[in-house]
Structures are given as structure tokens and as C-alpha cells.
Amino acid sequence: MIALGSQVLNYQIHQRLGDGGMGVVYLATHRKIGRKAAIKVLHPQFAQNPQIRQRFRNEAALLAQLDHPCVVKLYDYIEDEHGLCLIMEYIEGIDLDHYLKQVSGPIPEGRLVPLFNKILSAFDYAHQYGIVHRDIKPSNILITPNMGVKVLDFGIATIVNNAETALAAAGTRMGTVLYMSPEQVRGDFFDARSDIYSLGVTLFQMLTARHPYEDLHTEHQVFQKILQEPLPRAANFYPGVSAPMQQIIDIATAKNPDKRFPNCKAFAQAMRASQEQRFRIPSAAQTRPQPLPAWVGQAALAGLGVLLAAALWIGWGQEAWQNHYANTTARPNPTDQPVSSPDVSEPPHILAVKRRLEAFYAARETGDFEQVADFYAFPMERFMIYQNVRREEVRKVNDYYWSTRIKAEENIIDWDSFIYQQDEKGNHLVRVEVLYRCLLRAGNRWEEKREVRDLRLNPELRIYYIRSDELRTTADD
């Protein structure tokens, strides 16, 4: 432990930033050049271990050579009367664990993919140097104010690679074992694919804001789950997780390392591909008709008149549709329309919108304010999510609503009524009918409603407008 105001090399100690499983971290400033640094002083059980000290000497020089924008840089190291000290780059930010709990909740996939790919780039860089982190977890990943990423403690877990010593401090093992790969738990040889497993668990937590083993209370229970069972389905923890993202988690956390992504590049490619499949909206170039073959040139010329007429009709039809979208009040009899399911053969961007709406209404059924609020975009996001008085007002309305209903709503989307349009900014305009049923406490009766919902979603599929027109209400005694 270092006293505040004391000096380590040319660094003046100002503040104790926190304690970790391996040591205490202090904020310091270089006395000559004014550069801030974070100084980690390893716990005595590490610093006094001859094996750890030797490994530290051998590997600290290599770690100091790591130079990547998403990796916290090691400036220097020292062995003195204070013990074993690591002088590292100081980063303003919040660790991912606190970010998920206090700021974001589940991160929508549109924002998660670029963020997670920054994390993957850091590990891909280190793996190229033969460095395996061994202790990946959200508390070792910093999120900066501009949504950058910095990975902490690269190589420190490698230096402190004596299992009995590294896990001796009370409370340190449980925080790490949650992210351990099966081969780590067994004590087998492991390589960079072990980091891939831990990253898969981290991805699960970023998508759900929950840990897959959060309900377990002992290390033995966690060990058994890691060794014998696949991770729970992420959508069971948060309904907004897509099927492509679940598949990525499954591959990354496979029990057999040979069945995981071979490296972080492959992991990142799968992340990007999942979003191209889920969120890609065809551009004008992609949807433009292909040039006619030369042998039908004359037919093409003859058809220009037809194409021109069609273009004029489309322009009129689009305007008419917009007027219909805004003004139509007549509705078909809901009892004449069977409830349908999304057509999986539809264009990816339309199918993505439908899946997003399915997840939104599934979240509504939970009655969980936080899960529903996560679907909204600005300005609804500001109203629903920001920490202010209006947030509490909305929460009270939400709590009152669910206090009057014994059963959560059964939202059934009638996809046969689905109308879709995309504006010039890439926003999605949707009209769809929704049937929902709930059991009212007053009178203990079922109430059934069918409503037309007009929704607008931004290009990231976050909702910024909802309007509902009630068609019919029935109550069964």
C-alpha cells in the first residue's frame, strides 16, 4: 500500500482509484511532463512469490511493446520498497460491468457490434504476439466517454499464472471463474481460443445486461455448468437478442475449442455478417433493375414507353399510399383475419423490422420497464431512459398499469395487416394490427383489444413514434 502524496519513480501519487483481485490502483502524475498514469501495486502474495517475480521480469518488457488504440499501454514497471508496481496509461472511463448496470442496460445490436469489434481488435492484436489474456471479464474493459474501448490487464494474468497463488485472495476466484473456459476450469493446456470463450460470455452479458450464471451461488455450481452444459439461451434473459447473435454466442462458447472461432478476426467477421443479414437495407444500386441483354435491345426501346407509364403510376401510387397511411379510418373486421406469422422469405430489412417488433411486444409482456425502454430512440429515449423526473413519472404509470392486470398482455401481431414503407433517411414506417388480451383485477375478467399501431423506427430499428387506433374491445365475464 502506498501513501497518498508519496512518489514512485517520477510519479506523484494523488488518489486511490480502487482495489482489484491482483492489486490496488492509484492515480498519479509525472512530476516533469505532467502525464497522468495509473499505478497498480500488486498484492504482497503476488509480489513476494519468486516465480511471479521472475515471470514479471521476463514478460513485462514484451507487454510494454504492445501499442494498440484499444489496449491500455504499460509504461514501466518497478520493484522497490513498495513491492511490484505497474505504471500504466490512465484512461477516463467506466468499466463495462458498471456501464451495463448503471448506464446502458442491454446494448442494442446496432450499437453493440461496432463496440464489440473494437474489443475483438484488441485481443486479436495481443494474440498475434502470443499473449493470452486469461482473465477476460467486463470489469477489465473500459468504455471511454466517446464510446471507445480500452482493455486492461493484458498479460498480468499471464504473469500471475500460478493457480494456487493467483486465486488465493478471498473473493477473487468467483469473479474470474464466471468467464473461465472449460479447459481453464479443468486445468488443461489452453491457448487464445480460451479467450474466445470468455469473450463469448462477455458478449452474452453485453446483449442481456445479465450473466448466464448470475443465479448460482457457489463455484462448484458454476464449474459444473461450464463443464457440462451450454450457456442458457440469451433471449430467455432478454428477448431482444436475435437468432444470428445467439448462433455467434454458441460458436464462441463451444465446449470443444476446435469448434469455436479460430481467432478474433473470424469472430469479428461473424459479428459483421450477422448485422448485414439482420439490418442491411438495400441501396438504390442494389435494387436497380439489371441492364437488358443486347439481343433484346429493340424490345427494350419499345418497352420504354411502358416503363415511363409505370414510373408515373408508381409515383402516383406512392403518394396515394402515403395519404392512405395517414388518413385511412376504415378497418377490416378483425374476426375475418386469421393471426399470421412473419414470412421468413421476405427481404432482410423487412424481416428485421418484424423481428424487432416481435421482440418489442415480447418485452412488453414482461412488464419490465427497463426492457421496454431499451427499444426507444430519441426523443422517446430521452423521455423513457434519462435519469430525470419524467423517467420516474413514466415508471409510475408503468407500475400502475401492471398492478391492475393479473396476467401480462398476450400481444399477437397480425402480419397479414402489415404495411411497410421506408423513407429517404432510411427510417422504417410500419402499420400493423395487434391483438392483445389481459386479465383485469377489477371484475376478474378477460379483456381483448385489437388495435392498429403506426410505428416509426430509425435505421437502427429503435422506435421513435407509436400511435394506436383501437378497433374493437370485448370483455368476457
Cβ atoms of 424 and 326 within 8 Å: the answer is no
For residue 407, the model assigns a pLDDT of 52
**Mean pLDDT of the region 77-84:** 76
- 179-188, 211-220, 334-343: least confidently modelled range: 334-343
Cβ neighbour number for residue 144 with a 10 Å cutoff: 13
pLDDT bucket at 314, cuts 50 / 70 / 90: very low
For residue 374, the model assigns a pLDDT of 75
Kindly list the distances between the CA atom of residue 61 and the CA atoms of 66, 78, 84, 120, 238, in Å, as whole numbers in the listed order. 9, 11, 14, 23, 43
**Mean pLDDT of the region 198-214:** 93
Say yes or no to pLDDT of 334 above 50.
no
For the record, the C-alpha cell of 450 comes out as 385489437
Backbone angles phi, psi at 59, to 5 degrees: -110, -20
Taking only the tens place, the pLDDT of each residue in 462-475 is: 888 888 776 655 44
Can you tell me which residue has the cell 461450464? 226
For residue 372, the model assigns a pLDDT of 76
Say yes or no to pLDDT of 327 above 70.
no
CA distance 240 to 319: 34
Mean pLDDT of the chain: 75
Catalytic residue (one of 76, 124, 135, 454): 135
For residue 315, the model assigns a pLDDT of 39
For residue 264, the model assigns a pLDDT of 96
- In the chain, how long is the greatest CA-to-CA distance? 91
Q: Which domains does the chain have, with CATH numbers?
A: 7-89 (3.30.200.20), 94-279 (1.10.510.10), 334-476 (3.10.450.50)
pLDDT bucket at 21, cuts 50 / 70 / 90: low
Closest CA to 161 of 61, 51, 85: 51
More confident residue, 377 or 246: 246
Taking only the tens place, the pLDDT of each residue in 121-176 is: 999 999 988 888 888 999 999 999 888 999 987 755 555 444 333 333 333 343 47
For residue 135, the model assigns a pLDDT of 86
* 476 noted as active-site residue: no
For residue 392, the model assigns a pLDDT of 64
pLDDT bucket at 398, cuts 50 / 70 / 90: low
Query: Which one-letter amino acid corresponds to residue 21?
Result: G
**Mean pLDDT of the region 389-413:** 62
For residue 142, the model assigns a pLDDT of 94
Taking only the tens place, the pLDDT of each residue in 226-282 is: 999 999 999 888 888 888 999 999 999 999 999 999 999 999 999 988 877 654 433
CB within 8 Å of 59: residues ≥ 6 apart: 155, 158, 159
pLDDT bucket at 390, cuts 50 / 70 / 90: low
Pairing of strands 94-95, 445-457: unpaired
pLDDT bucket at 446, cuts 50 / 70 / 90: low
More confident residue, 20 or 409: 20
For residue 66, the model assigns a pLDDT of 84
Say yes or no to pLDDT of 339 above 70.
no
Query: Which one-letter amino acid corresponds to residue 300?
Result: A
Tell me the HSE value of 63 on the side-chain side, using a 13 A CA sphere: 29
Taking only the tens place, the pLDDT of each residue in 415-426 is: 888 999 988 888
For residue 28, the model assigns a pLDDT of 93
CA distance 331 to 420: 17
